[in-house]
Amino acid sequence: MKLKRILPQLLTLLFIVLIFGFFTMNAQENMDTRGIQFGFGFLTQEASFDIQFSLIDYDGSHSYARAYLVGLLNTLLVAFIGIILATLLGLIVGVARLSPNYLIRKTASFYIEFFRNVPLLLQIFFWYFAALRALPMPQDATLLLGSSFMTIKGLYTPAPIWTNFDIFFTTLIVAMILIFFFVKFAKKKQEQEGKQLPVLIISLAIFIGLPLLTFLVGGVDLSFSFPELRKMSQSSYTFDGGMGIPPELIALTLALTLYTATFIAENVRAGIQGIGKGQKEAAASIGLTPSQVLKLVIMPQALRIIIPPTTNQYLNLTKNSSLAAAIAYPDLVLVFAGTAMMQTGKAIEIVGITMATYLTISIAISLLMNWYNQRIAIKEK
């Protein structure tokens, strides 16, 4: 009996060890023949290449490790913006999909069916190579919203210039903590006394009012620098000042948002449809207004159904952002597993580090979701 359990495990173990051993031995032998060294020492070497777009201070004299950090931050930036926009769009489209209005419903479903069934790479290519390349040169650019320019070289918008930003930032954090405690307090009050405080209005007041106060008394100031056209040669112009957002970032975020929002919209629809009609009727029968029904009864239950697959979509969006390697957006894959790998030749180390990074992000999000699932799981009797 015991043998029946031990034998398969032993065989599996042997199999795994054999495969790994075979690979490692070959790799070692190949590297010896070629004279390649295995090691992570290259990370402290000077990178010698510049990166087009970086959130932190970086130029070619920094190390490969810092280049890795720049790539990672760029990936997280795209993921962050994409997640926010995709969630918003997905919510709107998901709710629109259930609207009683025929036109709205059909438009939403047309959007979902269209953008879901075209490969993401093709969408990215279309936006970058076809759509954004058709934009005008800086000198012919049209004015958007009074001070932004959409050109073939990017979107140039006014850039904020802060004085005493840290005071503003800490006030913001303090405001969020206050709101968190206030919400908890309001919930406890509701459960004990049945009274509802106008949570939304008060939270908004705190969130907006407190930081605004710093402008008056904290010495915080905000001004804008506007993009101005400057002539570089007889036919090429550029914008000085302001913030220049590269078209690569815009194309990638646009494509990722439109693609992922379709899946989120389907999840939202499934979530809302999954709430039995009995819930709505029971809530109405105890005298709740429609908006109260939505807020107190439908949404909490719907969220339970919506959030797990949506978190999966967030993960997919982060992984799909690696497609930036196909257009020139300097994310982790392009900067580290592209340029750095080609300059140093350390393929195994670099691809290993890249995969480990994505793996860490995925596992972190999975663990977070498991914890959330366990917390909100309906305790069945």
Q: Considering just the CA atoms, what is the radius of gyration of the chain in Å?
A: 27
Q: Which residue has the tokens 């025929």?
A: 102
- Choice from 247, 252, 255, 256 touching another protein (CB under 8 A): 247
Q: Is position 368 an interface residue for another protein (rule: CB under 8 A)?
A: no
- State the minimum distance, in angstroms, from the CB of residue 175 to another protein: 33
Q: Is position 183 an interface residue for another protein (rule: CB under 8 A)?
A: no
Q: Is position 2 an interface residue for another protein (rule: CB under 8 A)?
A: no
3-class SS of residue 160: strand
Q: For 219, how many CA atoms within 13 A lie in the half-sphere containing its CB? A: 4
Q: Is position 229 an interface residue for another protein (rule: CB under 8 A)?
A: no
- Choice from 44, 52, 223, 373 touching another protein (CB under 8 A): 52
Residue 309 near residue 90, CB atoms below 8 Å: no
- Choice from 65, 77, 92, 120 touching another protein (CB under 8 A): 120
Q: Is position 49 an interface residue for another protein (rule: CB under 8 A)?
A: yes
Q: Is position 80 an interface residue for another protein (rule: CB under 8 A)?
A: no
Q: Which two tokens stand for residue 29?
A: 């032998």
Stretch that binds another protein, among 50-58, 208-216, 273-281, 287-295 (CB under 8 A): 50-58
Length of the chain: 381
Closer of 21 and 209 to another protein (Cβ): 21
- State the minimum distance, in angstroms, from the CB of residue 302 to another protein: 22
Stretch that binds another protein, among 112-120, 161-169, 216-224, 281-289 (CB under 8 A): 112-120
- Choice from 174, 205, 355, 376 touching another protein (CB under 8 A): 355
Size of the site for another protein (CB under 8 A): 85
Stretch that binds another protein, among 179-187, 195-203, 292-300, 352-360 (CB under 8 A): 352-360
Q: Is position 35 an interface residue for another protein (rule: CB under 8 A)?
A: yes
Q: Is position 326 an interface residue for another protein (rule: CB under 8 A)?
A: yes
- State the minimum distance, in angstroms, from the CB of residue 378 to another protein: 18
- Choice from 18, 21, 55, 113 touching another protein (CB under 8 A): 113
Q: CA 342, 348, 349 angle in degrees (round to 5)?
A: 90
Please state, in angstroms and as integers, the Cα–Cα distance from residue 15 to each residue in 8, 9, 25, 26, 177, following that order. Answer: 10, 10, 15, 17, 53
- State the minimum distance, in angstroms, from the CB of residue 199 to another protein: 25
H-type helices in the chain, by residue range? 2-34, 64-96, 102-116, 120-125, 165-193, 199-213, 247-273, 277-285, 290-292, 299-320, 332-334, 341-344, 347-376
- State the minimum distance, in angstroms, from the CB of residue 307 to another protein: 18
Closer of 220 and 252 to another protein (Cβ): 252
Which residues on neighbouring strands pair with residue 223, listed in sequence order? 161
- Residues 280-319 binding another protein (CB under 8 A) are 319
Q: Is position 44 an interface residue for another protein (rule: CB under 8 A)?
A: no
Q: Is position 232 an interface residue for another protein (rule: CB under 8 A)?
A: yes
Q: Which two tokens stand for residue 353?
A: 């580090």
Q: What is the DSSP letter of 46?
A: B
> Pattern of binders to another protein over 92-111, x per CB under 8 A?
-------xxxxxx--x----
Q: Which residue has the tokens 């629809």?
A: 269
Q: Which two tokens stand for residue 293?
A: 């029904």
Give me the helix-helix angle, 64-96 and 247-273, nearest 10°.
40
Q: Is position 145 an interface residue for another protein (rule: CB under 8 A)?
A: no
Q: For 142, how many CA atoms within 13 A lie in the half-sphere containing its CB? A: 4
Q: Is position 9 an interface residue for another protein (rule: CB under 8 A)?
A: yes
Stretch that binds another protein, among 11-19, 185-193, 198-206, 285-293 (CB under 8 A): 11-19
Residue 241 near residue 225, CB atoms below 8 Å: yes
Q: Is position 126 an interface residue for another protein (rule: CB under 8 A)?
A: yes
Find, among 242, 231, 50, 255, the residue nearest to 150 by Cα: 242
DSSP string of 210-265, one letter each residue: HHHHIIIII--EEEEE--EEEE-SSS-EEEESSEEE-HHHHHHHHHHHHHHHHHHH
- State the minimum distance, in angstroms, from the CB of residue 283 to another protein: 21
Stretch that binds another protein, among 64-72, 287-295, 298-306, 354-362 (CB under 8 A): 354-362
